[in-house]
């Protein structure tokens, strides 16, 4: 059966979620040779610090790039969780920041609660690398596209000489997921 | 010899990492493409390794060499990637060449950017046309036009709006565009369809009728409107674009006949709000962001101005050119914008090509500094002496930014005036509407209809200005119309007022502050409270959490402070809770601390403290930004004090001296509330009070001199003393006991000095402090003579020990040592020390009678047994006993250890206790109320500052300690008093 996987990254402005979505989509489309579509919030709500990005990854041509329900939801703020949890399918993967309080709606989901900010700070001393840690986490718990493709896409998105620090954050995300999966 | 791909790879190393993806596409397909071209004998017809001037023809050639669609897509994508990289490499070479002679050639920057945009558009247009040819089913395809709605030279993504016309198979068109987007994403550049996604039912295209319907329903926002207004046809049916302009975008233009300016007004409100938000936004200290710093405000402004002046262009430079002609009075401002636009566009573009496609440029990130230095070199900046090219460029960055901000402010001023003229509120503001026969409107509802006319249109300054006008008729009409609404409607309307919070919380905040500040009636207060509650609900739902509040504090410190001062206790508690939530993004941490400090100040401080706080924050709102940093505050206040002498106007100097007092009062209070040692806060409090009094006397003396036209030299015969709490070096009193001595019987001199003290009193009163002159009532003059004092103290009055105590504990602030010596020799020694036994007995008696009041005084920190009064009296008795005259402070207790070492333990115990109850008293005054009688239910915030913890048990423990300590110290004091009397 053909793959069509819908992903939503949601949180606050400044968490780098739009960049993360772009990297993920590029990893799938350019390096993994799948099809991908990506869209993000641009309206005035984005001025209110909301941040949302959606990615569809598919083996086949994406005829309809809009996302109604999602297979994977990453919610890094409480507001994002409250707003988007109804769109996550049963048995879908839910990744939340550890400060997010989940409710009954999360019970039929595969839930991961992760201290992204702490990991970003401890791995590379950069709290603004939350998005890269999150990508590492995504790559490890999900086989929709390969760990190496996401790594390639990250390296193609960042300034030169910052590779080490980004890779530390990415590896920390991978390790955090491995720990939780044990 | 290196092969072409290796050479290209090496050359591309000069560009940013994101070019790797194009190299990946090339390396995956180049062999097949070259081989296919060779097989068909067309290798020489296509420029693979150099920039081509024949892109459309070469793309067609590539399509001809294979009929396999997948191969066609791969080959076209490979060709696109080759041309894209070579285009950028060429651009870099041209920039280096053209700007080598100097950086200040903005005309060159403009030309280069226009050329770059043209090259990129040409390349992408050719590519997209051919992809669509492959994907579109031409038979059923409706007429359509593809519009570019974003920045033309932006390579990171292409913002599109696609319009189709019925009839035709729009579904198949959407499918084709979807495939186009997918190919573009894989091989070229992302396509974004923000506009189309929000209009109509298809995901990627919409009809003009659907656009019209979206506008009619108000289901659009200013971001969508801006995209529509900036649309330029890329490919497809150009007549359809003309029709779109005529039927859709023209609605936003100013209708000079004033028939229909609804959309025009709404858009201006959205843009004014957007520009203000961008200019006020919090800028991280180490980052620059050319898009948000400059390009977005400039382009937003131009998008609004073109509607006012009837400019139908889409390119920013073209708009400026036409505006220069149509609005020549602002030529200077347009020129500034043009120069800034050219600088920032080129800077951003080069950064994106050679570093990364990020908007935020964090100069502290690894690698960025070197990259930015390289960029500076490309832009023609050079190292000069110790100043690097990078620093020169950054200085230019901020100079262009300042110039563009100044121009933006002038032009937004024009827009605001224009808005007032075209606004549907004009007849309401002028009052004309109420004179219209048959007018049945309701101002509160009219306002909400306008607010909700479209999403995110939140500029309401004109309305707020009317509300805040000195003549309250508009405000009263607003309140009365709101009050007349049915309860259910009222709730909806109130909710409507706060609906813009998610787009621009600052505008709603400013509206609420006016609503609250002018609320005098119960009805108005109740409306303010209910809307404020809803506003806080909205704030709690803001996705940025406390970060959004911190942004608000950054942009509107005074308004936020006023709002917190106006809201009910429950709302304040909720706000504090919101401010203390963990931020999702670490970036604005310092502002979070400021926010929390401000919220705490409002939530956990007494009216006594707030009185000074509001006084100073109203005048110096920037002070709010340092509430969390006492050292920084001290620097500011020291600066204030040092700067006084440089103020030429005496009136202004006295005013600023008052500000110094208030600032220092707030600073030392915050220090105390943060848990600092009370000996330190007392010392710092008294230091600034003394500075204030000393300087105030001097300025008032100058003032009297100026008003009388002469001065009198009383220097050796005048002294101003503090007595009471200030003399005891005790901070946070709300009164100021003073004694003024003059050794003169000359009535002119007495009158002269009374005038100075009268002036001082009026200024001290402005600080909310009551100046008390202990002997003024007795003698009918602030100024008293030594002989009057001697006579008064010899009178044998029953309460004379109170006056003796005042004199004994006094501390000279201004005056001569000569007079101080005479006070000692003629008053203190013969009339107090010589009557020590009598004095001590009076004091003992007074102590006993106070203690006899028992339970009534138990919670009175000052008067209870073991309270501050007992300690003060004990020290006075010791002063009399040992004939010393020291301030009744901790220092005197330490001196007593030396004088009477056998009681050293008791003195140490008393000092420890004094610190405890003094700390309790200060914190109670600052956090609860300026009362001496403590209410144990109000102790939790005090207990928290004293390190007891933050729960009820902590407060209980503090209260228990207070009772226990005062009981114990009473015994110690009794024992010491007995020893004094022996």
Contact A50 B544 (CB under 8 A): yes
Interface with chain A: mutation pick from B202, B502, B543, B547, highest number of A CBs within 10 Å: B543
Residue written as tokens 């306002």?
A: B447
On the question of pLDDT at B562 being above 80, the answer is yes
- For residue B454, name the pLDDT band (cuts at 50, 70, 90): low
- Which one of 2.40.110.10, 3.40.50.2300, 3.40.630.10, 3.30.460.10 gives the CATH number of domain B689-831? 3.30.460.10
CATH fold group of domain B262-419? 1.20.120
pLDDT tens, position by position, A2-40: 688 999 999 887 788 989 999 999 999 999 989 998 887
CA distance B439 to chain A (A): 35
The beta-carbon neighbor of B543 closest among A25, A80, A158 is A80
Residue B167 corresponds to which tokens in the numbers above? 């009839």
Flag the least confident range among A143-152, B780-789, B909-918: B780-789
- Size (chain A), residues: 182
Does pLDDT of B201 surpass 80? no
Question: Rounded mean pLDDT of B189-204?
Answer: 82
> Cα Rg for chain A, rounded, in angstroms?
15
Return the residue matching tokens 């190393």: B13
Nearest to A159 among B277, B368, B551 (CB): B368
Rounded Cα distance between B598 and B99, Å, is 49
Comparing alpha-carbon positions, the chain B residue that sits nearest to A80 is: B543
Residue given tokens 């304040």 in the structure block: B572
The Cα of A62 is separated from the nearest Cα of chain B by a number of Å equal to 7
What is the C-alpha to C-alpha distance for residues B576 and B941, in angstroms, rounded to an integer?
14
Written out in words, the top-level CATH class of the domain with range B4-215+224-246 is alpha beta
- Which residues contact residue B309 at a Cβ distance below 8 angstroms, ignoring those fewer than 6 apart? B322, B323, B326, B327
Q: What is the pLDDT of residue B258?
A: 66
Give the contacts of B269 (CB within 8 A, at least 6 positions apart).
B419, B457, B458, B459, B460
Contact by Cβ (8 Å): B382, B391: no
CB pair distance less than 8 Å for B455 and A79: no
**Chain A positions in Cβ-Cβ contact with residue B551 (cut-off 8 Å):** 49
Say which DSSP state B384 is in: B
CA distance B672 to B666: 10
Pure H helices in B852-951: 868-882, 890-899, 904-927, 940-945
- Say which residues have a Cβ less than 8 Å from residue B801's Cβ, sequence separation at least 6: B839, B842, B843, B846
Find which of B24, B218, B545, B585 to mutate to test the A interface (most A CBs within 10 Å of its CB). B585
Q: Give me the mean pLDDT over the B504-515 stretch.
A: 91
- β-strand partners of A112: A95
Note whether A36 contacts B185, CB cutoff 8 Å: yes
Q: What is the pLDDT of residues B357-385, one digit of tens each?
A: 888 898 887 788 888 999 999 898 988 88
Chain B residues closer than 8 Å to A15 by CB: 584-585
Question: How does strand B783-784 pair with strand A110-114?
Answer: unpaired
What percentage of residues in chain B have a pLDDT greater than 90?
54
- pLDDT by residue (tens digit) across B517-535? 999 999 999 999 999 999 9
B152 pLDDT band (50/70/90 cuts)? low
Task: Give the pLDDT confidence score for residue B507 in this predicted structure.
Answer: 87
Judging contacts by C-beta atoms under 8 Å, the chain B residues touching residue A61 are 178-179, 182
User: Which tens digit of pLDDT belongs to each residue from B613-671?
Assistant: 888 888 888 788 888 889 999 998 998 899 998 999 999 999 999 999 999 999 999 99
Residue that wins the pLDDT comparison between B488 and A66: B488
Residue pLDDT, tens place only, B82-99: 999 999 999 999 988 888
Q: Across chain B, how many H-helices and E-strands are there?
A: 45, 12
In chain A, the number of structural domains is 1
Note the pLDDT of residue B153: 65
d(CA B973, CA B907): 9
pLDDT at residue A1 above 50? no
For residue A42, the model assigns a pLDDT of: 55
Task: List beta partners, residue B742.
Answer: B718
Rounded Cα gap, residues B414 and B408, in angstroms? 10
Q: Specify which residues B233 forms β-bridges with.
A: B147
Domain residues for the domain of A123 are 4-181
Taking an 8 Å cut-off on Cβ atoms, the answer to whether A26 and B355 are in contact is: no
pLDDT reported for residue B922: 93
- Helix axis angle for B868-882 and B800-808, nearest 10°, is 80
User: What are the b/e assignments for B51-83, b being 16+ CB within 10 Å?
Assistant: bbeebeebbebbbebbeeeebbbbbbbbbbbbb
- Owner of token pair 């296509």: B46
Nearest chain A Cα distance for residue B234, angstroms: 21
Chain A residue numbers touching B274 (CB-CB < 8 A): 44, 47
As a whole number, mean pLDDT of residues B143-148 equals: 95
Torsions phi, psi of B812, nearest 5?
Answer: -75, 130
Sign of the Cα pseudo-torsion (B776, B779, B780, B786, in order): negative
Cα separation, B204 vs B144, in Å, equals: 12
pLDDT at B102 over 80: no
Sheet holding A35-40, edge to edge: A35-40, A50-58, A4-12, A70-75, A88-97, A110-114
Which of B971, B968, B966, B981 is CA-nearest to residue B845? B981
Both tokens of B553, joined, read 């504090």
Q: Is the peptide bond before B167 cis (omega within 30 degrees of 0)?
A: yes
Reduced to 3 states (helix: H, G, I; strand: E, B; else coil), residue B813 is strand
Q: What is the mean pLDDT of chain B?
A: 89
What is the distance in angstroms between the CA of the first residue and the CA of the last residue of chain A? 29
Residues of A in contact with B543 (CB under 8 A): 11-13, 48-51, 77, 79-80
**B-chain residue closest to A16, CA distance:** B585
Average pLDDT over residues A30-53: 74
Instruction: Give A142-171 pLDDT, tens digit per residue.
Output: 989 999 999 999 999 888 888 999 999 999
Per-domain boundaries in chain B: 4-215+224-246, 262-419, 689-831
Answer left, alpha or beta for residue B946, where phi above 0 means left and psi between -120 and 50 means alpha.
alpha
Supply the pLDDT for residue B31.
95
Q: What CATH number is given to the structural domain containing A20?
A: 3.40.920.10
Output the CA angle B644-B650-B652, nearest 5 degrees: 70
Residue A176 has pLDDT above 90, yes or no: yes
Distance of alpha carbon B737 from alpha carbon B721, whole angstroms: 8
- B690 or B450: which carries more pLDDT confidence? B690
Alpha-carbon distance of B439 to B259, in angstroms, equals: 19
Q: What is the pLDDT of residues B207-248, one digit of tens each?
A: 999 999 999 988 888 889 999 999 999 999 999 999 999 999
CA-nearest residue of chain A to B541?
A79
Say how many residues make up chain B: 982
Q: Do A160 and B355 touch (CB under 8 A)?
A: yes
Overall average pLDDT of the B427-450 stretch: 76
Half-sphere exposure of B927 (CA within 13 A, CB side): 26
What Rg do the C-alpha atoms of chain B give, in angstroms? 38
- CA–CA distance, B524 with B482 (Å, rounded to integer): 9
């Amino acid at each position: 059966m053909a793959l069509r996987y819908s992903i939503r990254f949601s949180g606050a402005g400044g968490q780098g979620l739009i960049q993360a979505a772009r990297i993920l989509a590029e990893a799938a489309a350019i390096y993994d040779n799948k099809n991908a579509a990506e869209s993000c919030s641009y309206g005035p709500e984005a001025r209110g610090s909301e941040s949302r990005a959606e990615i569809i990854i598919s083996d086949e041509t994406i005829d309809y790039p809009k996302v109604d329900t999602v297979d994977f939801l990453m919610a890094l703020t409480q507001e994002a969780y409250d707003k988007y949890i109804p769109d996550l399918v049963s048995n879908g993967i839910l990744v939340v920041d550890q400060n997010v309080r989940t409710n009954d709606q999360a019970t039929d989901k595969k839930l991961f609660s992760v201290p992204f900010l702490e990991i970003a700070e401890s791995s590379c001393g950069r709290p603004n690398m939350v998005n890269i840690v999150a990508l590492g986490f995504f790559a490890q718990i999900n086989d929709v596209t390969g760990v190496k493709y996401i790594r390639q896409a990250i390296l193609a998105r960042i300034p030169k000489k910052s590779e080490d620090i980004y890779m530390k954050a990415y590896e920390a995300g991978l390790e955090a997921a491995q720990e939780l999966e044990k | 010899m290196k092969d072409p791909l290796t050479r290209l790879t090496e050359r591309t190393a000069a560009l940013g990492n994101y070019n790797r993806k194009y190299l990946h596409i090339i390396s995956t397909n180049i062999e097949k493409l070259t081989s296919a071209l060779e097989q068909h004998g067309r290798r020489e017809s296509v420029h693979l390794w150099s920039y081509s001037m024949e892109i459309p023809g070469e793309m067609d050639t590539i399509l001809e060499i294979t009929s396999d669609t997948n191969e066609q897509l791969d080959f076209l994508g490979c060709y696109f990637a080759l041309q894209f990289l070579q285009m950028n490499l060429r651009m870099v070479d041209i920039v280096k060449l053209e700007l080598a002679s100097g950086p200040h050639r903005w005309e060159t920057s403009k030309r280069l950017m226009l050329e770059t945009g043209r090259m990129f558009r040409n390349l992408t247009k050719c590519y997209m046309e051919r992809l669509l040819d492959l994907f579109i089913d031409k038979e059923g395809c409706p007429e359509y036009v593809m519009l570019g709605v974003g920045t033309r030279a932006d390579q990171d993504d292409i913002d599109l709006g696609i319009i189709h016309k019925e009839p035709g198979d729009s579904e198949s068109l959407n499918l084709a565009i979807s495939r186009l987007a997918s190919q573009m994403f894989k091989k070229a550049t992302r396509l974004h369809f923000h506009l189309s996604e929000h209009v109509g039912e298809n995901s990627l295209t919409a009809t003009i009728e659907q656009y019209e319907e979206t506008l009619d329903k108000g289901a659009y926002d200013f971001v969508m409107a801006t995209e529509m207004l900036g649309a330029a046809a890329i490919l497809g049916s150009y007549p359809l674009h003309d029709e779109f302009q005529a039927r859709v975008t023209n609605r936003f233009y100013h209708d000079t006949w004033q028939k229909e300016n609804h959309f025009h007004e709404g858009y201006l409100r959205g843009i004014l709000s957007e520009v203000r938000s961008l200019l006020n936004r919090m800028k991280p200290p180490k980052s620059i962001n050319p898009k948000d710093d400059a390009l977005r405000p400039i382009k937003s402004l131009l998008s609004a101005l073109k509607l006012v002046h009837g400019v139908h262009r889409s390119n920013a430079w073209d708009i400026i050119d036409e505006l220069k002609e149509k609005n020549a009075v602002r030529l200077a401002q347009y020129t500034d914008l043009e120069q800034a636009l050219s600088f920032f566009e080129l800077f951003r573009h080069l950064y994106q090509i050679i570093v990364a496609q990020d908007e935020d440029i964090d100069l502290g990130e690894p690698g960025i500094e070197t990259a930015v230095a390289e960029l500076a070199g490309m832009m023609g900046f050079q190292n000069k002496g110790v100043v690097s090219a990078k620093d020169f460029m950054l200085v230019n960055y901020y100079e262009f930014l300042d110039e563009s901000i100044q121009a933006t402010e002038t032009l937004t001023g024009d827009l605001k005036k224009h808005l007032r003229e075209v606004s549907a509120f004009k007849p309401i503001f002028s009052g004309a509407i109420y004179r219209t026969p048959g007018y049945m409107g309701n101002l509160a509802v009219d306002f909400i209809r306008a607010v909700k006319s479209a999403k995110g249109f939140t500029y309401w300054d004109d309305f707020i200005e009317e509300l805040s006008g000195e003549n309250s008729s508009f405000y009263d009409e607003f309140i009365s119309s709101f009050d007349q609404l049915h309860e259910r409607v009222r709730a909806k309307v109130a909710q409507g007022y706060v609906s813009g919070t998610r787009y621009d919380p600052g505008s709603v905040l400013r509206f609420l502050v006016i609503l609250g500040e002018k609320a005098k009636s119960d009805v108005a207060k109740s409306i303010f409270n209910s809307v404020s509650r809803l506003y806080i609900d909205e704030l709690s739902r803001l996705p940025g959490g406390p970060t959004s509040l911190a942004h608000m504090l950054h942009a509107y410190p005074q308004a936020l402070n006023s709002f917190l001062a106006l809201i009910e206790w429950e709302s304040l508690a909720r706000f504090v809770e919101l401010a203390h939530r963990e931020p999702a993004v670490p970036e604005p941490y310092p502002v979070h601390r400021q926010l929390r400090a401000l919220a705490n100040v409002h939530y956990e401080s007494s009216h006594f403290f707030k009185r000074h706080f509001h006084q100073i924050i109203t005048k110096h709102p920037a002070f709010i930004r340092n509430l969390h940093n006492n050292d920084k505050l001290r620097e500011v206040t020291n600066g204030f004090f040092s700067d006084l002498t440089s103020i030429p106007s005496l009136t202004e100097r006295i005013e600023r001296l008052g500000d110094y007092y208030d600032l220092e009062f707030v600073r030392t209070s915050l220090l105390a509330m943060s848990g600092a040692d009370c000996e330190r806060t007392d010392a710092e409090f008294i230091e600034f009070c003394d500075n204030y009094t000393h300087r105030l006397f001097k300025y008032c003396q100058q003032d009297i001199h100026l008003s009388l036209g002469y001065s009198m030299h009383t220097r050796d015969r005048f002294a101003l003393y503090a007595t009471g709490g200030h003399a005891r070096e005790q901070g946070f009193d709300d009164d100021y006991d003073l004694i003024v001595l003059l050794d003169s019987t000359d009535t002119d001199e007495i009158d002269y000095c009374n005038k100075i003290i009268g002036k001082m009193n009026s200024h001290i009163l402005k600080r909310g402090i009551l100046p008390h002159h202990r002997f003024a009532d007795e003698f009918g003059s602030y100024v008293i003579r030594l002989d009057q004092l001697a006579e008064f103290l010899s009178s044998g009055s029953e309460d004379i020990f109170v006056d003796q105590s005042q004199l004994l504990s006094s501390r000279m602030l201004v005056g001569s040592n000569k007079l101080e010596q005479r006070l000692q020799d003629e008053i203190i020694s013969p009339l107090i020390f010589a009557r020590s036994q009598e004095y001590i007995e009076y004091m003992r008696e007074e102590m006993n009678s106070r203690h006899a009041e028992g339970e009534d005084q138990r919670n009175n920190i000052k008067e209870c047994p073991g309270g501050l009064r007992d300690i003060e009296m004990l020290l006075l008795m010791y002063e009399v006993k040992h004939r010393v005259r020291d301030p009744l402070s901790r220092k005197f207790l330490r001196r007593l250890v030396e004088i009477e070492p056998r009681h050293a333990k008791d003195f140490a115990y008393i000092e420890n206790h004094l610190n405890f109850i003094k700390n309790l008293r200060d914190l109670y005054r600052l956090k609860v109320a300026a009362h001496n009688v403590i209410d144990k239910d109000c102790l939790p915030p005090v207990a928290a500052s004293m390190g007891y913890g933050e729960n009820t048990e902590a407060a209980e423990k503090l209260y228990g300690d207070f009772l226990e300590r005062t009981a114990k110290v009473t015994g110690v004091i009794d024992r010491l008093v007995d020893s004094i009397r022996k």
